[in-house]
Structure 1
Amino acid sequence: MADEQLALEASINDFFHRSGLTSRDRLDCYNFVENLYPGRPISPAICQGYCSMTIFVGDDLVIQFRPESYRLNLQITDAAREVYRAFAPETKYLATLPESGLVVYSMRRIEGISFKLFRANDAFIARSTYYRMELCKDFAAFLAKSWNNNNVEELPLGRVGKSIITRLKSLAEGLPSRFLPAVRKVLRNLHQIEALPWVLTHGDIVAANIMVHPSSGKLTGLVDWAEAERLPFGTCLYGLEEILGEMTPSGFQYSGDAEELRALFWAELQRHLPELEQKSALDAVKLARDLGVLLWHGIAFDNGAIDRVVQEDRDVEEVRRLDAFLDLSGHVDLDWVSKI
């Protein structure tokens, strides 16, 4: 517990330092929350994001402080709520603090804990096949909600959606040569990917943003929709890998039952989306999955710049994810599917 507190303090301090803010600005944040919700218990979230500070108010409310450069697009967060219902938090703008310029939002707190904490605090349950089977099925059902949802057609394309070809060409020029076959395959077949439904896509599906019920492991929602935008269906399927394995000092390691769970996920996705029984549609979604892997792990974050191709010696974890995720590109063990 002491280590958790030290890590929490360090992450909050890092946020204020990166934002060019002071301890006084941090105190202003807490005073703002205390004045707005007098008498209610407040505490910082154990998992803090890179671009914000998050505070819990009671059991049902989240207050988040973000620099202007990481301001939320409320059109996007409203759309996420409309498409994914209770799996996305209801988000409202509250104020902009006059001294620090931090933008303040309130959000409905999604039930449960992050999969990252679940995995760390209750490793035996989190790694059991049964619990992750439930999570894989829930993740498939979650993604399927977007397929036939036409409510996002009016959303303008975001930074990634407007620059897919440009980014792929940069990846073809800058990635280590072993990844070039995957990039070229996606480029050759981009027309198939773009013919898929363009859906509201969460922009950062990692273990810290996947919320689960601590006693059942079932998916309760996703947090941090700041980078969400409209993209071809399947682009965020890189998130499945975060359920099937995790980063270790020696690289990204999959669990022993990963292939069984992967097959279960695809079978469940096809159950929710009969359109994927057509091989051409299923192949296009698998290509979109590869596109997502390349865009999310082939391009460095760099404080939100997302315009630099990752480098072997500089972006070790992202390159290791590329090695693991692209090696499994499009693979589904049909023997497992037949058993489900």
Structure 2
Amino acid sequence: MDISEFIPSAASYQAQTANLIRKFFDTNEITTQQECDEHASGIADQVVSPTALQGQKSYTVIAADESMVIQFRPPDCLLDVADVDIARMTYGRRFVPACVFRESWRGLFVYVMDSIQGEAFAIARQDLYTKENKHILFSTISDYSTFFAVSWTNRPTTPPDIKQIYQDYDSRLAALNDTVPPKFYSKLNTARNQLWRIFDPSHPIVLNHSGLTDTNVHVDKTTGRITGVIDWSGSCLGPFGTSLYGVDMALGFQSVNEWHWHPNHHELRKQFWESLSNIVGPLTDDQISTIKIARAVGLFLTFGYSNGVLVEDDDSRLMYLDVLLGME
């Protein structure tokens, strides 16, 4: 099945970016886009321009020589540089660009980051999903395996409070009983009843990215290699596998009306598991089963909530939950 016509175009992302920039400066009236650009140009000592994608509550520009990225954030949306530093120590420079707090300027907080090559997977998807580039997409999925394997290997040196994390997960899953439609009850109950398995001492507790979407993973569309992962603020310790939805985001996408899987998504998903097992050591059936439980838990906690608030039963996030829970 040809799904290329449903893939969001670069033009659609450009329009979205323009709207987000306009919204940012409508909300933060103390300064203008031109003033931010001029200030960033002074920091970079060269011309800057807005990045292809923008966050919901930030304004980001990139230097002309692509050596650095400069980001402006309001006080209610600060970037936790410590989170980025921890992620960088865990995942390494290949996957996590450096970030430093520069200054407070006109009511905004300014951060300077290393630029990463390539473009967001969301934008590169049009190229990666062509039949001719099937082998390139396989390289991308192999790199997802490498990315997750790094966290499996580089676990926190200081043991976290497992009991507290468990109680947090359990209470959040329990709260979903009151908001998700009945069709989710069976899988929600299974996730909660099996929660103990992903907190067993034999299962790794790792640093998880809190928003591993196709806009935060950057790739080189000519090779398929992942060039970096951005937006690490809010990353947290938890069971391995709870952010595996990131792989799903590479294997499919949401159009206006429905979800579309890549025609070879089963084959690609199989490759992911094989590559992961080869890197971290042979995974037993029980280990894979436990990781899949963690994936389901992660799906409920990611798409059952929006910014920490329970979603309503008509929220579009529940569509993602429905589709992704249906694929194991």
* TM-score, structure 1 normalization: 0.85
Q: How far did residue 291 of structure 1 move?
A: 0.8
C-alpha separation between the residues in 2 aligned to 1:90 and 1:300? 27
C-alpha separation between the residues in 1 aligned to 2:50 and 2:321? 33
What are structure 2's unaligned runs of at least 5 residues? 1-9
1:122-174 CA distance string (max 9 Å, x none): 365488431221111110111100113234636789x9877211110111222
C-alpha separation between the residues in 1 aligned to 2:160 and 2:84? 12
1:48-95 CA distance string (max 9 Å, x none): 011211110131201111122221222210111111112111111100
Partner of 1:13: 22
Residues 220 and 227, structure 2, Cα contact 8 Å, conserved in 1: yes
Matches within 5 A, 1:1-340: 6-17=15-26, 20-22=27-29, 24-38=31-45, 40-57=46-63, 58-85=65-92, 86-97=94-105, 99-100=106-107, 102-120=108-126, 122=127, 125=130, 128-151=133-156, 153=158, 163-195=168-200, 196-274=203-281, 276=283, 278-301=284-307, 306-308=308-310, 310-313=311-314, 315-316=315-316, 318-329=317-328
Residues 202 and 228, structure 1, Cα contact 8 Å, conserved in 2: yes
Residues 152 and 230, structure 1, Cα contact 8 Å, conserved in 2: no
1:264-313 CA distance string (max 9 Å, x none): 1111111112252x222221111001111111111123xxxx122x2332
1:113/1:328 Cα in 2 relative to 1: closer, same or farther (>3 Å)?
same
- How many equivalent pairs are there? 314
What are structure 1's unaligned runs of at least 5 residues? 330-340
Q: How far did residue 231 of structure 1 move?
A: 1.2
Q: How far did residue 322 of structure 1 move?
A: 1.2
Give the secondary structure class of the aligned counterpart of 2:151: coil
Partner of 1:336: none
Give the secondary structure class of the aligned counterpart of 2:241: coil
C-alpha separation between the residues in 1 aligned to 2:47 and 2:246? 33
1:224-270 CA distance string (max 9 Å, x none): 11221111111110111111110012221112111111111111111
* TM-score, structure 2 normalization: 0.88
Residues 152 and 200, structure 1, Cα contact 8 Å, conserved in 2: no
Give the superposed CA RMSD: 2.3
1:100-128 CA distance string (max 9 Å, x none): 2x1111111111111111124x3654884
C-alpha separation between the residues in 2 aligned to 1:118 and 1:96? 34
1:18-55 CA distance string (max 9 Å, x none): xx3127343432232122233x1211001001121111
Look up the equivalent residue of 1:16 and give its one-letter code. Answer: F
Residues 128 and 137, structure 2, Cα contact 8 Å, conserved in 1: no
1 or 2 for the larger relative contact order (CA 8 Å, sep ≥6)?
2
Q: How far did residue 191 of structure 1 move?
A: 1.1
1:46/1:94 Cα in 2 relative to 1: closer, same or farther (>3 Å)?
same
Residues 54 and 64, structure 1, Cα contact 8 Å, conserved in 2: yes
Partner of 1:333: none
